[in-house]
Amino acid sequence: MPSFHLEKVSAGIVIACTTASIWSLLISLIRLFLRLKISGPLGWDDATCAAATLFGVAESCTALLAVHYGLGIPQNEIGEFEPLYKLVWVAGQLYALSVGFSVLSITCFIARLTKTDQHQRIIHSIMIAIGVWMVISELLIALGCPTPRPWDISDRKCLNKWYIWLSHTVICTMFEILNIKVALLIVWNLQMPFRPKAVVFLSFSLRLLVLPPALVRLQFLEVAIAKTDVGAYRARANLLSQIVMHSSIILATIPCAKPFFALFDGGVYRTPRDMKPEPATEPEAAGTGIEQRQEFGFYYESSP
């Protein structure tokens, strides 16, 4: 991007930050519309997704500032390192918070879909585990280097950042898979056709799309951490961070966006109102002994 005097990788960060932030904010507005107009009320899943969006946009703004202070250019062309070190340090914390809240949003969404005590105990245990993981991750990222300069990654007394981010990614993937398994456990016992079950499972499984860029990000981080040139080598890792973080935010809305897709598709993505059966006459309802219930936005029949 010669007209802006930016290196190619720096220009890529600018484009990724602005584009991904706009998409995350747009998806958040769509989610808010769905909750207020179609499938409300607002819940903790919406609050945690909003927090993920807030921290994600803040991380992107921090990355843009880091580009201004030298992210993406060789170290010998950077006049002062202190601002860049601080911004990279803050960006790491915001990234971990954004990804953590997006995973927690999915767990909270699953929690509002079932009232079974057994399922609720499992889901609440997962929530607590995610919360503990987020706190520990933040402490390791924020205080991985000695005070009073915890942002100075050139200090040899710092904890190994590669192992910190590797463990963060592995544990995050474990929680993603655990959320999918719990969602599958809940939906598999529902009395409804296989096709809607498959759609629900697919909606949650889309979260795994963040795994490939997350692995590539780890590869770039391994190289960047081994090098002393923060400006040049951290840029590609930050670019992948934008992709992973904002993809995680956007995919957190997919499972609850079925009513939105119903506006464009007349098939499997139908709203609960569309799928609600015609009310039976009083003699028919009294004779069948069947109770209509709803879960995951689908109506199914069960014995009272």
DSSP assignment, residue 73? S
Q: Are 81 and 144 in contact (CB under 8 A)?
A: no
Mean pLDDT of 4-17: 77
Q: Collect all residues with Cβ–Cβ distance below 8 Å to 304 and sequence separation of at least 6.
A: 289, 290, 291
**CATH topology for 2-270?**
Rhopdopsin 7-helix transmembrane proteins (1.20.1070)
pLDDT at 195 over 90: no
Q: Could you check whether the bond before residue 304 is cis, i.e. omega within 30 degrees of 0?
A: no
Q: Collect all residues with Cβ–Cβ distance below 8 Å to 193 and sequence separation of at least 6.
A: none
First-to-final CA distance of the chain: 66
Q: Which of 123, 109, 273, 127 is nearest to 203 (CA)?
A: 109
Confidence bin at 259 (pLDDT 50/70/90): low
Q: What is the pLDDT of residue 5?
A: 54
Q: What is the pLDDT of residue 69?
A: 85
Q: Collect all residues with Cβ–Cβ distance below 8 Å to 149 and sequence separation of at least 6.
A: 155
Q: What is the pLDDT of residue 249?
A: 94
Q: Which of 207, 280, 233, 221 is nearest to 74 (CA)?
A: 233
